[in-house]
Amino acid sequence: MSDLRDLYQQTIIDHTRRPRNFRPMPDADHHARGHNPLCGDRLELYLKLSGDRITEATFTGAGCAISTASASMMTEAVKGRTIAEAQLLFEKFRILLTTPIHENVSLDGLDKLEVFGGVREYPVRVKCATLAWHTLEAALKRDDHEAKTE
Amino acid sequence: MIEAPTAAGTQSAAPPVWNAADVRRDFPILHHVDRPVAYLDNAATSQKPDAVIAATTRYYKSANANIHRGVYRLSVEATDAFEAARTKVAAFIGAPDRDELIFTGGCTESINLVAMTWGLENLRKGERIILTQMEHHSNIVPWQLLAQRTGAVIEVVPISAAGELDIGAYQQLLTQKAALVAVTHISNVLGTINPIAVMSKMAHEHGAKILVDGAQSVPHMPVDVKQLGCDFFAFAGHKMCGPTGIGGLWAPRGILEAMPPYQGGGDMISTVEFAGSTWNKIPHKFEAGTPNIAGAIGLGAAVDYLSHLDMRQVAHIEAQLLAYAEKQLQTIPGLRFVGAAADKASVISFTLDGIHPHDIGTILDQEHVAIRTGHHCCQPLMDFYHIPATARASLAFYNTPADIDALVNGLRRVIEVFA
């Protein structure tokens, strides 16, 4: 049995209590809503782009510790990255959460996001951690539909 | 005569003739698993006693045959066992006539059956279907589907902050073309026990029928459909120690005989010709195809088991446990109860300040405590309280104060993690 602290690392608790970039952005270039029907978590993501580079990312919403911290840390992580870089980061993040052994895949560049590695032991919580990222994908596609984890 | 205790335990009752420790050994999962769990998710499904597991196994091992068909001995035995289960289940809910008890796949199917037969036949455009703010999705969505097809209109009885129905508002709604009331007997989130007998009388005074969702009441208190005075009573087997995939619908003979069939198929017909068919008598008219024979037999065994325990004692023991749990939970800082009805069953919904219910659930799981977290299939009720979810501990007669202590200690751990 894994230790609870593997899941609820101090960084995650910190981001849950004081989410970064937690505000609406009225002049956002891209915007999408995310919803996890399983637990009712909802978030709204706002992006500003310069060319294909994300210059600002903010969010609002209500969710569990994992989904809130994930959204908070994602907005920090994607700021300054190109769309392609952000997508690659999501791909690595997803592998971190779902693949037990990832020696064949380089997860370099995840940096702080590696604190979510503990989620791997809690399969029902993976969707909490990926909600913000699914919403990011929807926002970048200018998809007006709600991003869902189900 | 022993007076039946209310679920809130406000009336005195005879001292219990058994306690949780005695009955726990009847439930293999409570002591056979590697990691014993304080199982506090009984409103989702109950655990199964040996007697139920044995009854379904016995059917498959020694009496398996289709029913109502064969002339051979095995089929006759299977038919007898299936119909004996019907008699037991009907008696358990106080049905005056065993033929008024229809076996369904569960409470959800029972409600859908009424919507798609009685509802389609009887509801007219503009007539009202009265629901309440505390209904489970399974007692909302079938009526929405029916409303879409008939033009009937859904109205909702509001509740107080404590989680009790506004009976004055109900009275008002009944005066406006009310055709059907569909209400839960006990809320699966709040534990509120609704005053069904009064509500039935009021509905009938206005010419409306009333359907009662008994999924949470049959497992936890004595239920008598005659005393409730309702027109339809739906319930689930798996929440009352029975197998999954079996449930019941009760309605008086007159209503059932006037209703069109639900599904078409074998067993529900009397004669079949291409020019047209005629229907079997009740209850078979509503049981097309091979039913869940093992499930029905298992449910019959569950009813035997619960009858042996005596539902008055079950209610009494659960009321004591509820009082203990509420007292202990009050010591947790930041814990807020959701639902504080005067007449309440052993369901405790709560939130912890600043901590999402899903995080509570995950951490409690690590502490070997199983509770439910989420919207509990009651999104309109969550909206009423302006919360996305609650944590819910729901108790059964086989739970012990030690299970409650595990919950309380687990919640202290939750607070530590987030400190």
Predicted local confidence at residue B381, as pLDDT: 96
Q: Give the domain CATH number at B353.
A: 3.90.1150.10
B237 belongs to a structural domain = yes
Predicted local confidence at residue A37, as pLDDT: 79
Predicted local confidence at residue B394, as pLDDT: 98
Of B290, B307, B324, which residue is a domain's last? B307
Whether B251 and B397 share a structural domain: no
B378 belongs to a structural domain = yes
| Cβ–Cβ < 8 Å for B81, B230 | no
Predicted local confidence at residue B6, as pLDDT: 44
In chain B, the residue whose alpha carbon lies closest to the alpha carbon of A14 is: B418
Predicted local confidence at residue B362, as pLDDT: 94
Confidence of residue A4 (pLDDT cuts 50, 70, 90): confident
Whether the bond between B283 and the residue before it is cis, its omega within 30 degrees of 0, is yes
Cβ of B358 and A62 within 8 Å?
A: no
| Cβ–Cβ < 8 Å for B208, B130 | yes
Interface test with B, best of A39, A67, A149 (most B CBs within 10 A): A39
B42 belongs to a structural domain = no
B1 belongs to a structural domain = no
Whether B398 and B334 share a structural domain: yes
Residue A75 DSSP SS3: helix
Predicted local confidence at residue B377, as pLDDT: 92
Predicted local confidence at residue A108, as pLDDT: 80
pLDDT in tens, A87-132: 999 999 999 998 876 566 677 889 999 999 999 888 889 999 999 9
| Residue found by looking up tokens 């069109």 in the block | B260
B11 belongs to a structural domain = no
The minimum CA-CA distance between B128 and chain A, rounded to whole Å, is 30
Q: Give the domain CATH number at B156.
A: 3.40.640.10
Q: ipTM strictly over 0.85?
A: yes
In chain A, the residue whose alpha carbon lies closest to the alpha carbon of B379 is: A40
| Cβ–Cβ < 8 Å for B127, B179 | yes
Within its chain, how far is the Cα of B154 from the centroid? 22
Residue numbers of chain B with a pLDDT score lower than 50: 1-12
Predicted local confidence at residue A1, as pLDDT: 43
Strand locations in B309-404, DSSP E? Answer: 335-338, 347-352, 369-370, 372-374, 390-394
The answer on pLDDT for A144 being more than 60 is no
Confidence of residue A3 (pLDDT cuts 50, 70, 90): confident
Whether B280 and B215 share a structural domain: yes
Predicted local confidence at residue A145, as pLDDT: 60
Cβ of A65 and B359 within 8 Å?
A: yes
The reply to whether B230 belongs to the active site is: no
Predicted local confidence at residue B357, as pLDDT: 95
Whether B72 and B141 share a structural domain: yes
Predicted local confidence at residue B5, as pLDDT: 41
What tokens were used for B119? 């509802």
B4 belongs to a structural domain = no
Predicted local confidence at residue B11, as pLDDT: 46
Of B286, B307, B328, which residue is a domain's last? B307
- Give the pLDDT mean for A27-47: 90
DSSP bridge partners of A42: A35, A62
| Cβ–Cβ < 8 Å for A102, A86 | no
Whether B229 and B377 share a structural domain: no
| Cβ–Cβ < 8 Å for B354, B340 | no
Of B275, B307, B339, which residue is a domain's last? B307
Contacts of A122 in chain B (CB under 8 A): 362
Domain boundaries, position B195: 53-307
* B354 Cβ under 8 Å from any chain A Cβ: yes
Predicted local confidence at residue B20, as pLDDT: 85
CATH of A4-141 given 3.40.50.1260, 2.40.50.140, 3.40.50.2300, 3.90.1010.10: 3.90.1010.10
Sequence-distant (6+) residues with CB within 8 A of B313 are B13, B14, B16, B17, B18, B397
Q: Which residue in the set A13, A39, A125 is minimally distant from B389, CB to CB?
A: A39
Among residues B107, B241, B377, B378, the one annotated as catalytic is B377
Burial A13-47 (b: 16+ CB within 10 A, else e): bebbeebbbbeebeebebbbbbbbeebbbbbbbbb
Whether B166 and B78 share a structural domain: yes
Q: Please give the helix or strand (H or E) that residue A44 lies within, else none.
A: strand A41-50
Predicted local confidence at residue B219, as pLDDT: 98
B388 belongs to a structural domain = yes
User: Domain residues of chain A, as ranges?
Assistant: 4-141
Whether B294 and B146 share a structural domain: yes
B82 belongs to a structural domain = yes
* B21 Cβ under 8 Å from any chain A Cβ: no
Interface test with A, best of B352, B358, B385 (most A CBs within 10 A): B358
